[in-house]
Amino acid sequence: MPVNPTPPLIHARGLTKRFGEFVAVDRIDFDVAPGESFGFLGPNGAGKTSTMRMIGCVSPVSEGVLEVMGMDPGRDGPKIRARLGVVPQQDTLDTELTVRENLSIYGRYFGLSRAEVARRADELLEFAQLTERADDQVEPLSGGMKRRLTIARSLINEPTVLLLDEPTTGLDPQARHLLWDRLYRLKQRGVTLVLTTHYMDEAEQLCDRLVVMDKARIVAEGSPRSLIEQYSTREVTELRFAPGIAETLDGKLDGIAERVEHLPDRVLLYADDGEAAAVAVHERGLRPETVLVRRSSLEDVFLRLTGRSLVD
């Protein structure tokens, strides 16, 4: 743990979630500091959503310690939820109401006055770039617009912590970038973001610090940069061979890189100098169809830690 004078906003020790015999979250420890952007990175089924639901006080803790803003979710659920913003994995917008009505009725759930709700709704419509659609029904909106509305809705109570469960899954690249931009602005304003994702680029863009989850456990923790430094090399050389060739490579690539990873569709060489590795491959008389030298990413960290890719 880094030395931190302010107490963490979220504190978990040995946090466990069981559904009958099935263990969804297995004794995990983490702390989230105020103002931090904290991520849970992992494949589907790693336990990310179960963890988020426990933090959001909608799913009881099976075992272990969980404190959110110094309070106990089991006892102070409504009090904690009053200060949380929640963006669930699946939109829970009321499709029969208008965009503005979705914001205002949600604000009313937090006990805000009608005048206050109306004022904040106008601001948030602006923030989410939905002012022009304010009086339209929600149903015909695009996926990106619905997502932005969900985020706007989660901000109506001016939350201390914003919980985002896979905020951009299923969106096209343009919609994702617009959403990231909005989240980045929130982060600049000092809102604490806690998010889950199985996209490494999302984690790299948004997270100051993250934990890698796999099979209900935390397998690594750190900033995106430090995780890459610790678990991967500076660069990666990706080789694609013609069909049938890859199976004949046994041992032929040994010594070229720090580590060689054989994937079904390609071979990855982990080396600090990717160009040099590519040259060495050619010097050994191997002729891959394509060669790509790139920087290491969190995807490589995940592969190293679990032996599997993040997105199937």
Which residue, 19 or 263, has its beta carbon nearer to other proteins? 19
Which residue, 193 or 257, has its beta carbon nearer to other proteins? 193
CA distance 58 to 292: 45
Which residue, 163 or 171, has its beta carbon nearer to other proteins? 163
# chain residues binding other proteins, by CB under 8 A: 31
Contact 209, 19 (CB under 8 A): no
Among residues 60, 70, 140, 170, the one that binds other proteins under rule CB under 8 A? 60
Q: Does residue 194 belong to the site contacting other proteins (CB under 8 A)?
A: no
CA distance 93 to 139: 9
Helix axes of 143-154 and 114-127: crossing angle, nearest 10 degrees: 140
Alpha-carbon distance values, 196 to 9, 46, 48, 163, 244 (Å): 17, 10, 6, 9, 38
Q: Does residue 237 belong to the site contacting other proteins (CB under 8 A)?
A: no
Q: Does residue 108 belong to the site contacting other proteins (CB under 8 A)?
A: yes
Q: Does residue 109 belong to the site contacting other proteins (CB under 8 A)?
A: yes
Q: Does residue 113 belong to the site contacting other proteins (CB under 8 A)?
A: no
CB burial of residue 63 (10 Å; 0-12, 13-18, 19+) = middle
Alpha helices by DSSP H, the chain: 48-55, 73-81, 99-109, 114-127, 143-154, 173-188, 200-206, 224-231, 274-283, 298-306
Minimum CB separation of residue 193 from other proteins in Å reads: 16
Contact 162, 155 (CB under 8 A): yes
Q: Does residue 41 belong to the site contacting other proteins (CB under 8 A)?
A: no
Question: In 3-state terms, what secondary structure has residue 154?
Answer: helix
Minimum CB separation of residue 135 from other proteins in Å reads: 13
Among residues 16, 49, 157, 196, the one that binds other proteins under rule CB under 8 A? 157
Among residues 12, 15, 54, 86, the one that binds other proteins under rule CB under 8 A? 86
CA angle 150, 152, 157 (to 5 degrees): 110
Q: Does residue 90 belong to the site contacting other proteins (CB under 8 A)?
A: yes
Minimum CB separation of residue 58 from other proteins in Å reads: 5
Among residues 10, 23, 66, 81, the one that binds other proteins under rule CB under 8 A? 81
Which residue, 90 or 226, has its beta carbon nearer to other proteins? 90
User: What's the maximum distance between 2 C-alpha atoms anywhere in the chain?
Assistant: 74
Binding site for other proteins (CB under 8 A): 18-20, 56, 58-60, 77-79, 81-82, 84, 86, 88, 90-97, 101, 105-106, 108-111, 157
